[in-house]
Structure formats: structure tokens, C-alpha cells
Structure 1
Amino acid sequence: MLLGLTPVLILGAAAAYYLTRPTTLTIAVAPSGGTEPALLRAYADELVRRRVGIRLKVIPFDGVRESAEALNAGKADLAVVRPDVAMPGNGLTLVVLRELAVFVAAPISAGITGLPNLAGKRLGLLAGRQADRTLVGHLADHYGLEMPTEAATGILSPNAVSIVPIEEAEIEAALRDRRIDAMILVSTPTSPAARRVVGLVQDASGEDGATLVGTAETGAVLARWPRLQSTTIPASLFGGNPRLPAEDVTTVGSSYRLMARANLSRSVAAEVTQHLFEMRAALADKVPAAESLTHPAYEDSADATSARLPIHPGALDYYEREQETFIERYESWIYLVAILAGGFGSTLAWLRQRLGRIRRERIEVATTRLLELRSDARRETDRGRLATMASEIDDLAASIARHALNRPTEPRTLGAANVAIEAARSTVRRRIGQHGLPEGAPDVT
């Protein structure tokens, strides 16, 4: 019985191991030195610490273009993507890691009240990412402004805007010395870096004060560059007296997104999304950028899956609280195991029945032979042949006894065999008594 159950136990153990082992996903992170790689490494460590069912294998890349290409090529299951730089064809959004806004921080004295007023101005841009310069170039092109490849010196043409790469420590002095007229930022407005830069502009503005300028024509800009998004900088975000900004500032921007390959299972995508939000508070203690995590904006499920930057159905399951249950997730496997187990059980029962029949047939054959010997002995007069029959009866009795000891035997079959043994022996004994035993014959008395 135990031997028969062994395959079932092995099958059950294999199924349990498969269903409970952690799922390991490869994640491509970028940009090098950014907050996103640090955040997702902390997330990977927290998944291990809490022993949840997801594990992340982190692969770093220098830029988001490379990480998007890794996802598109199938070398990663997840990736950090900035859609305005490179959008993988198989990428669907799980989480918005950080939203970026494009806005200008300028002294009021610079006379910048809108992006068209940037003609003839020099804008400081924090040195670093080429993607930020490209995005600013798109906006300049929308307003018909020229943007020289290199920072211009001397007097600018009336229709040009010059981008001056600058370090944060140089901002205040550059504004006072008129090396730049304002700062243009491609940043998360609530980030510490953005607050520091705006603070430096305020300090350099003196009593005149500073202002923030966004892109008022967001609809037109998004129509031309649909991978951008509209965002709003709330009034008084940067404080001050008077407050800065004085009113909500509408502008455009981009985002860093955690994207998954489109064919990643819905349940796994939902788990990755759920754990990231559930662990956000713990991650924020190590990486403050975790506070910027948010879900993609959408109105309904149809909008979420048909948008220009569609959401993964698994992430949508989490946002809509429609995640698959354990039974729904492994329904096919459960049915398969049940079918296999049922089939195996039926096969095992058939084998047991067949083996039992074979054992029973062996005893029945011996019983039939014993009855034949009894019938033959009643007609036999040769003493030598009667002695041979007596020996065969002993051998058949021993064979039946061995079967009964080593294997379960039906009482009815065993009872019939015992009756046949006694009947055959009795007949042979009576016939030998009538004709006498030859010398050396077995004693059947």
C-alpha cells in the first residue's frame, strides 16, 4: 500500500514545490546614478527579507534607452523606462516611479512670463542627462525657438534660446553675474533637488522675487509628443512670502516608469505592483524617492488599457482590487493534478485487482489439480502411481501455504483449497490402504 502511494506523494511534493517556490524576475534599472536603481535595489532586498513569492535579479544600465531595449529584446522581465526617450514595443506600465515636470524658475526682473519669452535668453540646465536637453528642445521647437547645440557666447539672435550646463553650486552666482537669465528644470517638483534649485533662484532674485513658468498649451504639446504627460505644480509648493508659485502652474513633463513585458502573467504583475506599494513606507526610510511612487492616471479600465502608455492588466487588477485568487491562478494545474491523481488511483486499483486475481487463480489452479488427483486416485490401482500422487498433493499443499503466508488471500478461496487437500489426501490414503505401499514411498497417514 505504501509503495503504491509513493508516486502520488512524489507528484504532490513536486506540485507543492512548483506552486510555492519564489518567482524570479530580471529587472533592468537605469539611469546610472539616479534614484530609480537605488529604489529598486532596496525593493529587491526587502522582498528577500520578507520572504515573499517574488525575487528580483537587478541588471544595471547606464541609461533608460538601454534598459528599455533590454525589455524589448526579451532580456528582462521588468525595466525602468522613460517613455519620451525610448518606449519598448512590449512594455506595459506597472508603476510610475517618478513624475517629471518641465518648468522655468526665474527672477521676476528677467521678464519671463511664458515659454515664448525665452527668446534671446540663456537658461541654466543642471549638467547631466541628454534626455532632459532633448525634452527642452522639443518645447523650444514647439514655440518656434532655435536652440544651438553648444552654449552661445555674446549676444543671442532674437529667436534663439541658449542652454547652459551648470552645477547646482554655481546657480546663484551665475544668475547674479547674468551668465544665465533663469533656470529650466526637468525634475520632480517635490524632490529635494528641485526645492534647492528654486531656493537658489529665490536667493539670487533678492527683493524682486522669483516666478515659476510652465507650458500653458499642454494639449497642443501632448498632441505633438504623446509620450509626454500633463502635470500641475500646486500653488505655494515652494512656500515664501509672497508664495511661490502664486497660482497652480500647468506644464508638461515625462516620467520614470516601472514597465513589464506584455506577456508577463497578470498574477505576477499584480504581485510586483502590490508589494511595491505595500513596502513603500519601509523603502522610503532608505530611499526617499519611494515617496514619489504613484499609479498611472486613468479614468476606467478601457482607458487604462488603450492609452498611449497602457497599463499592464495585472497592475490594473491590483488597482481595481480584482486580483486572482490562488484557485484562479493555479486552476489549470489543480485540474491537471486532480486528473493525473485520479487516473493514477484508477490504475493502481486495477493493478491491485489484477494481481489479486492472479494470486487467486494460482490457488484455484492448485485446487483444481487437487480435485483431479482425488478423482484419478479413486480409479488408480498401481501402488507406485498412488505414491507419486501423494507427493504431488504435498507439493501443492506447500505451494498454497506459501501463497497464503506471503500474500493476502480470500478466505473463500483458501477454504476451498483446504477442503481439496484433505479430500485428495483422504482418497489417496484409502486407496493405498487397499493396495499397500511400495518400499520407500511417502507416508500419507
Structure 2
Amino acid sequence: MRKLALPGGREVWLLGLAALLVLAAVAAFYATRATTLTVATAPHGGTEPALLRAYADELARRKSAIRLKVLTFDGVRESAEALKAGRADLAVVRPDVSMPGNGLTLAVLRNLAAFVVAPGATNIRSFPDLAGKRLGMLASRTADRALVGNLVAHHNLELRTDPPAEAVPGTAVLLVPVQEAEINAALGDGRIDGMVLVTTPTSPASRRVVDLIRAASVDHEVSLFGVADTAAVLARWPRLQPVTVPAALFGGNPRLPTEDVATVGTSYRLMARADLARSVAAEATQHLFEMRAALAESVPAAEDVASPDYEDTADATSARIPIHPGAIDYYEREQETFIERYESWIYLVAILGGGLGSTLAWLRQRIGRKRRERIEVATARLLELRSEARRETDRERLEALASEVDDLAGSIARHALNRPTEPRTLGAANVAIEAARSTIRRAQAGSGFLIS
């Protein structure tokens, strides 16, 4: 007696559903997981590291999709090198010190202006008037000294840092490091004739220095000037930038300065690798500006964060200090939508899902055909049993035929309960079962016995 097993497809469908769920979970994980960026900050102990640490903390507190890992370096040359070498995704960069070839600007963290402040009685009104003078300088960083040295050299003067035995030569300017608390005394005893500042003009430190010089001046008059030939200076040192000190910034009565002062300066910039994804760069820039007010509560310098100046996209990407396309997307409100950002993933899921769906449909069709073939085989066997029963007179053989008919009928019944079956195929099988049983009963009756 032969038994025919009818295959099932439930396992195949469960396997396909599980595969789809795993694929969807993987896609969701990659689409929603936080992106951690390494940021190199400098100078050590400066404003920028404090600002970016506060930014990293705020991103974590708000559970943002962007997170920062902060690395602190002693100077901006080292932080720029970290970006250039690929050890950081973002970095604090001062372009006049070191400009990494793979760095593109996200935001200006702080603009610096170079300008001179002196008591009015000194008659120092411009850089040429500094010949033979002594200039005080706060926190004399190497980069700031280099910038001042370039400005002095542009006016055919030599910047000296070693005090001469006698008076300062008429072809030189002596740079004297002083502390803020020493300014008044240094002006009084002739150690300095004025102060040169490389700083943010709106900073509290700038206002304090100007007030100290005003207080030390006999008539309370102050001279404040910058670089007159800004275009020429920028042509020689293109990584500097034009800066304007607004009129009356340090007082309105009398006005100081009396009018806008044009000068040159530099900036601390947050830069990103050129190959950083546009969407990630745009999001990092957006969060920085959105959180600026919150950051200013702990780091007041956050108020100085600004967008880089540019006229149009072509100007932004072709400038000497170019801007990252992702930052431009934020500034021009053209950030990628969810569909655009995850377009590749969506296409991949669609392609794989479509392929998996087609495979499952093929398997379903194939298994359905196999099921149909098995039922057809069973039906054909039932018809063979009917033909054999017509010719059979042996009692044991008729019992065996009846038992095989019952087995086939049971297999077909189980299949009909557990699997979808075409009505036509199932109807034919039922007719064959009844015909086979009827023929066997008649054969048994003709032989003088009948098994009910």
C-alpha cells in the first residue's frame, strides 16, 4: 500500500515573513541610530573647546541623532592636522595658522579682528605711526604674534620681541607681553605706548582693555585704528579676512570709534571633512545654531557663532575658505528630506523586498502545483483501484484495496483542512473516492461478503 504525502507551505511563508522583518529591522537600525562624530578642538584651555564640550553635552541630553566625541589639542595647528589625517570628522581650525586641504567650513565660531588702541596723547593714529613704539599684547599666542608681525611688515617695519638696550629703532616695533591688570601701570611708566588686540571686538575683554586705556589717558581720549589697506593685505595673506569694528562699539559719548573701522582678522572655524555626508553636515550645523541660546547660558562665547559670509552657492564652494555643501543646505534651507536622505536604503529594501516577494510567489505557485499534482496522482490511483476492484474476487485483496482507498481519502481530507485547494481538483478527488468505494462494495457483494 502506498502513502502519498501532501507538502505544506506554511513554513515557507513564515520564513519569508521573518526575512522581511529582519530586513526592515536592519534598515530601521541604520536609519535611526545616532551618528557619532569625532571633533578636534583647540587651543587647550580656550573658548572653543569649552563651547564644543557644551555642544556635545547638549546633543546627548536631547538624544539627538548626532553625537560628538571631543578630542582636545594644545593648538589649532594640531587640531587641523587631526582633520587632515582623518583622525577627526570635525575640527576647530584657524585658517591663517593651518588650513587642512580636506576641510570645509560648517560655521564660524568666533571672528577675530586685529586693531590697535592707544591713548590720544601718543599721536598714534595708524600703523606707520608705530615706528619706534612699544605695543602691549595680551595672551601672546604664536599665531597672534605672527599675524601682527605680518601687518607690521606690510608697513616696512620690523616686529621685535626682545627689548633693546636703548630706544626702539625707528624701523621697528617692540611687542611687549602684558597682563590685563598691568596695562594702566605699563602705560604710566612708558613700558608700552598702546595695545594691539587680536580678538573679538565685542568681547568683554576688548571692552575692558579699551576702558583701561581710556582711564590711563590724561584727556580720556583714545585712538583706535585697524589696517587701512585691507585689500592689499588680503591679497598678500589670502587666508585672512576683512573685519569691521562698528562705530561707537566702545562708547557713544564720545563715540569710539567715531566711525566704522576697517581692518583684517581671522577666525576660529568649525570645519568638517570634505567627504562627510551632506545630510550629517547639515544636521550638525543646524543643531549648533538651534542650541546656540542654550549653550550661551554656560559658554557666553556661543553668542559669537555665526554663518560664514557668502553671496551665492558658487561663491561659497569656490571661496579661498570654502563652505561644506551640507552647511550650505542648512543656510539655504534646502536640507535633504527623509526620502532623499535614505533614498538608497529605500531602494535597496524595495528591490530586495520585491525580489523576495517574487520568490515567495514563485514558491507558492510551485508548491501549489506540487500539491495539485499530488492530489491528481491520488485521484488517478483511486481510479486505478476502482478498475482493479471490478476484476478482483479475492477477499483479502479487496480488503487491501478498500484500506488503500481509505488512506488516500484521509490524506486528501487532511490536505483540504490545512491547505487551500482548488474546488475542481478536490471535487474530482471526492468523486474518485466515492466511485472506488462503490465499486469495491459491489465486488465484495458479488463475492458473497461485504465489509461496511
TM-score range normalised by the length of the shorter chain: over 0.9
Counterpart selection for 2:36 from 11, 24, 28: 24
Match of 1:226 in 2: 238
User: Which residue number in structure 1 is paired with residue 427 of structure 2?
Assistant: 415
Shift of 1:63: 0.8
Report the Cα offset of residue 427 of structure 1.
Answer: 1.1
Change in Cα spacing, 1:217 to 1:134, as seen in structure 2 (3 Å) is: same
Give 2:158's match in structure 1, choosing from 127, 137, 146. Answer: 146
Do the aligned partners of 1:425 and 1:444 also contact (CA within 8 Å) in 2? no
Question: 1:358: how far off?
Answer: 1.9
Measured against aligned partners, the alpha-carbon deviations of 1:35-64 in whole angstroms (never above 9, x if no partner) come to 111111111122222223211111111111
Distance 1:13 1:132 in 2: 53
The CA distance in 1 between the partners of 2:63 and 2:173, in whole Å, is 53
2:97 matches 1:85: yes
Please report the RMSD computed on the Cα atoms of aligned residues, expressed in angstroms.
Answer: 1.7
- In structure 1, the partner of 2:326 is 314
In the alignment, the residues of structure 2 paired with residue 35 and residue 125 of structure 1 have an alpha-carbon distance, to the nearest angstrom, of: 18
Shift of 1:6: 2.5
1:427 paired with 2:434, answer no
Is residue 2:353 matched to residue 1:341?
A: yes
Distance (Å, rounded) in 2 between the aligned partners of 1:98 and 1:221 = 21
Counterpart check, 1:130 vs 2:137: no
Matches within 5 A, 1:3-402: 3=14, 4-207=16-219, 209-239=221-251, 241-402=253-414
SS in 2 for 1:100: strand
Question: What is the percent sequence identity of the aligned residues?
Answer: 72
* Structure with higher RCO (Cα < 8 A, 6+ apart): 2
Alpha-carbon separation, structure 2, partners of 1:124 and 1:259: 32
- How far is 1:149 from its partner? 4.4
Per the alignment, do residues 421 and 233 of structure 1 end up closer, same or farther by CA in structure 2, a change over 3 Å counting? same
CA positional deviation for 1:154: 2.9
Give the letter aligned to residue 224 of structure 2. Answer: L
Q: Is the 8 A contact 2:214 2:220 kept in 1?
A: no
1:444 aligns with 2:442: no
Structure 2, unpaired ranges of 5+ = 1-9
Structure 1 stretches of 5 or more lacking a match?
A: 438-442
Provide the C-alpha distance between the structure 1 equivalents of 2:40 and 2:218, rounded to a whole number of angstroms. Answer: 45
Q: Which moved more, 1:55-64 or 1:384-393?
A: 384-393
Partners in 2 of 1:279 and 1:151 — Cα distance? 47
Partners of 1:326 and 1:388 lie apart in 2 by 69
Contact 1:68–1:80 under 8 Å retained in 2: yes
Give the 3 Å change call, closer, same or farther, for CA 125–153 of structure 1 in structure 2: farther
Distance 1:22 1:224, change over 3 A: same
Q: CA distance change for structure 1 residues 407 and 444 in 2, over 3 Å: closer, same or farther? A: farther
- CA deviation after TM superposition for structure 1 residue 131, in Å: 0.8
Cα distance in structure 1, aligned partners of 2:165 and 2:316: 47
Q: Residue 153 of structure 1: CA displacement?
A: 4.5
TM-score by length of structure 1 reads: 0.94
CA contact 1:270–1:314 (8 Å) conserved in 2: yes
Aligned residues: 440
In structure 2, how many angstroms separate the alpha carbons of the residues matched to 1:113 and 1:404? Answer: 104
* Secondary structure of 1:401 counterpart: helix
Contact 1:107–1:182 (Cα < 8 Å) also in 2: yes
Alpha-carbon contact 2:121-2:218 (below 8 Å) kept: no
| Aligned twin of 1:404 | 416
Aligned counterparts of 1:152 and 1:363: Cα–Cα separation in 2: 111
Moved more, 335-344 or 1-10: 1-10
Between 53-62 and 152-161, report the one with greater CA deviation.
Answer: 152-161
Give the secondary-structure state (helix, strand or coil) at the position aligned to 2:270.
Answer: strand
**210-219 or 420-429, which moves further after superposition?**
420-429
325-334 vs 255-264, which moves further: 325-334
Inter-partner Cα distance in structure 2 for 1:56 and 1:384: 86
Distance in 1 separating the partners of 2:421 and 2:220: 108
- CA displacement 1:244-299 (0-9 Å, x = unmatched): 11221111100000111111111111111111111111111111111111111112
Contact 1:132/1:186 (<8 A) preserved: yes
Q: CA deviation at 1:382?
A: 3.9
- Between the aligned partners of 1:394 and 1:91, the Cα distance in structure 2 is 82
How many Å separate the matches in 1 of 2:91 and 2:97? 14
Shift of residue 357, structure 1, vs aligned partner = 2.1
